[in-house]
Amino acid sequence: MSVILQTSDLWRTFGGVAAVAGVDFELREGELRCLIGANGAGKSTFFKMLTGQLKPTSGRITLYGKDITRLPSFAIARMGVGIKTQVPNLFNGLSVHENLMVAARFGMPAREAADAVDAMLERIQMTSQARLPVGSLAHGHRQWVELGMILINDPRLVLLDEPAAGMTAGEVERTIALLEGMRGKRSFIIVEHDMHFIRRIAERVTVFHRGRVLVEDTMDEVVRNTEVRDAYLGSAGTKRAST
């Protein structure tokens, strides 16, 4: 499979702190990659540069062969990229249906959008809540509405920052099922802390440590890697990851 996203010697410094320090990274078409690492390892900063939320200090990001290093988020989204940031992008006063419709209308005419919204309501299993204001929903449900808004335009590449954050175990399972249905058909980069989620969904994992890529491997190998254990997982993390 061809490489669709690449970073070369990517840096971002804040004052004297190098949050991301020379990262070379590649994602292939159809891949589902998880980014993990301890707090402060640089995952979010790296993710924000991929999504145009933060400008790199130096280095280069290429997407589908195009230099996107200095592009803003909306321009990257227009290239067929679905982006979920840590801060929710929802209209609390509008219903679930209306939120999905707003997203759908970016990419398609009204009649097609109405059908797409109905189909997405079924996919995220929220047809019965379609008329409820998003502001009245529980956290996990709000996350699904946002996922639905991202997926409704059928992005080729999906970038998710902590999609399982604050979800109950049951909600995490439903999120996994939603993403499983797209595995191999679309490409993903997912930043996540929830080790159960990572363990269930990850193919290859990229472990960040002090702004650099410490290791890139399958989750099984990552858990076995003593350097990773020392740097990140610790004995508690290893136990969590193996359950």
Ligand X SMILES: Nc1ncnc2c1ncn2[C@@H]1O[C@H](COP(=O)(O)OP(=O)(O)OP(=O)(O)O)[C@@H](O)[C@H]1O
The answer to whether residue 37 forms part of the interface with ligand X (CB under 6 A) is yes
- Spell out the alpha helix ranges (H) of 129-208: 139-151, 169-180, 195-201
The answer to whether residue 39 forms part of the interface with ligand X (CB under 6 A) is yes
When binding is defined by CB under 6 A, the residue of 10, 27, 34, 41 that contacts ligand X is 41
When binding is defined by CB under 6 A, the residue of 4, 5, 10, 19 that contacts ligand X is 19
- Whether 71 contacts 48, CB under 8 Å: no
Could you tell me how many residues make up the chain? Answer: 243
Q: Which stretch binds ligand X (CB under 6 A): 11-19, 97-105, 131-139, 234-242?
A: 11-19
The answer to whether residue 56 forms part of the interface with ligand X (CB under 6 A) is no
44/99 with CB nearer ligand X? 44
CB of 237 to ligand X, least distance (A): 13
- List residues bridging with 206 in a β-sheet: 35, 216
Using CA atoms, how far apart are residues 150 and 163, in angstroms rounded to an integer?
12
- From 33, 54, 30, select the one nearest 42 (Cα to Cα): 54
The answer to whether residue 7 forms part of the interface with ligand X (CB under 6 A) is no
Name the amino acid, one letter, at 219.
M
When binding is defined by CB under 6 A, the residue of 22, 30, 40, 59 that contacts ligand X is 40
The answer to whether residue 87 forms part of the interface with ligand X (CB under 6 A) is no
Q: Which stretch binds ligand X (CB under 6 A): 32-40, 99-107, 121-129, 151-159?
A: 32-40
Q: Which stretch binds ligand X (CB under 6 A): 25-33, 36-44, 169-177, 194-202?
A: 36-44
Tell which positions 139-158 bind ligand X, by CB under 6 A: none
When binding is defined by CB under 6 A, the residue of 1, 3, 9, 17 that contacts ligand X is 17
Q: Which stretch binds ligand X (CB under 6 A): 35-43, 73-81, 108-116, 135-143?
A: 35-43
- DSSP collapsed to 3 states, 49-105: HHCCCCCCCEEEEEECCEECCCCCHHHHHCCCEEEECCCCCCCCCCEHHHHHHHHHH
Using CA atoms, how far apart are residues 114 and 213, in angstroms rounded to an integer?
43
The answer to whether residue 234 forms part of the interface with ligand X (CB under 6 A) is no
Using CA atoms, how far apart are residues 115 and 230, in angstroms rounded to an integer?
50
Neighbouring residues of 224: CB distance < 8 A, sequence distance ≥ 6: none
Using CA atoms, how far apart are residues 171 and 144, in angstroms rounded to an integer?
9
124/205 with CB nearer ligand X? 205
When binding is defined by CB under 6 A, the residue of 1, 3, 14, 224 that contacts ligand X is 14
Residues contributing to the site for ligand X (CB under 6 A): 14, 17, 19, 37, 39-45, 208
